[in-house]
Structure 1
Amino acid sequence: MSVTKKDVEYIAKLARLRFNDDELENFTHELNEILNYVEKLNELNTDNVEPLSHPIENVNVFREDILKPSIDREEALKNAPSSTEEFFKVPKVINK
């Protein structure tokens, strides 16, 4: 399968692009080179090759989710400049 100059003009029209004659010739040549490469890849024997979901085998690098005791609420609030029994108090930052 090869691409003609008319095919490139049609593709350019669909993409709403304008090319001069030199650019059309260049794109025709480049698209044909790409198609030739794909044809060469189609010649490869892939009968015994298993499909991949990803080209690189990744290993889970995340740690296990282990429940640990947290800092006590009183301990967390003791150094706060202003707090209630349960929360930090902060100045209002949004005005109407």
Structure 2
Amino acid sequence: MSLDTRTVRRIAKLARIGLDDQEAEGLRQELDGILGWVEQLNEVDITDVPPMIGTGLAKPRLRVDVVTDGGKREAVLSNAPDRADAFFTVPKVVE
């Protein structure tokens, strides 16, 4: 696949990149080289290559979702500067 200068200018405009004529021609040559390399990848035989695990085939390890109260009320409330029974107490901020 070969790009023309018009297509390169359109790509540059979409990317909000300002190019003069010399830069556009240089970028066209670079993009042609990149696209040529990508076309070479289409020639590789991948019939017996299994997909990588990162393609969504892996199943996440899940734990059982169990609702508990935590069982650590006293440990949590021990950090409170002031408490009333099983609750934190805070200074009144709204009159």
Deviating runs (4+, > 4 A) in structure 1? 60-65
Which of the two has greater strand per residue?
2
Identity of aligned residues (%): 38
Inter-CA distance 44–84: structure 2 relative to 1 (3 Å threshold): same
CA distance in 1, matches of 2:26, 2:87: 68
Q: CA RMSD in A?
A: 3.6
The match for 1:50 is 50
CA distance in 1, matches of 2:9, 2:76: 69
Unaligned runs of 5+ in 1: none
Q: Please, what TM-score do these two structures have when normalized by structure 2?
A: 0.65
> 1:85: how far off?
1.1
CA distance in 1, matches of 2:2, 2:19: 20
Inter-CA distance 14–83: structure 2 relative to 1 (3 Å threshold): closer
> 1:18: how far off?
2.4
| C-alpha distance after superposition, 1:48-71 (max 9, x if no partner) | 11122417xx9x799998x8x733
The match for 1:70 is 71
The match for 1:29 is 29
Unaligned runs of 5+ in 2: none
| C-alpha distance after superposition, 1:13-59 (max 9, x if no partner) | 3444320112101110110111111011111110111122417xx9x
- What is the DSSP-based 3-state SS (H/G/I as helix, E as strand, rest coil) of the residue aligned with 1:70? coil
The aligned length equals: 91
